[in-house]
Amino acid sequence: MKSVKLKATAGRTAGSGVLNLQGNLTLDCAEEILRFLREGAKKYKDVRLVCTQVAALDLSFLQLLHSYSTYQASRNADFKVELNLEPDLAQLIRSTGFAQWVDSGARPN
């Protein structure tokens, strides 16, 4: 089922923004999420991505996070991620090598 909620708001500092995602962070919604991230990059230099009420998550979303992180780094912009996941899903993400997105809230090394 294709269902994702997207909302962008200005951050606390000039040039920063908060991008909020809820719902299915999957291949079904990847184009919509990609478009949303691109719009956020045009509007804000520094971005904080907050993901709440995540119903589903797959590799396509993690690939988008990685690509967006690389893009932000290439333009010397900050990118922070807050993935608020159910404990079982968070543990699965940690176990598959993506702990940096679940635990640190910062750009991976």
Is residue 19 assigned to a domain? yes
Give the tokens for residue 91.
């543990």
Per-residue pLDDT reduced to its tens digit, 43-100: 999 999 999 999 899 999 999 999 999 999 999 999 999 998 988 888 988 898 888 8
pLDDT at 104 over 80: no
Domain carrying residue 27: 4-104
Is residue 109 assigned to a domain? no
> How many domains does the chain divide into?
1
CATH label of the domain that carries residue 64: 3.30.750.24
Mean pLDDT in residue range 32-51: 95
Half-sphere exposure of 107 (CA within 13 A, CB side): 16
pTM: 0.86
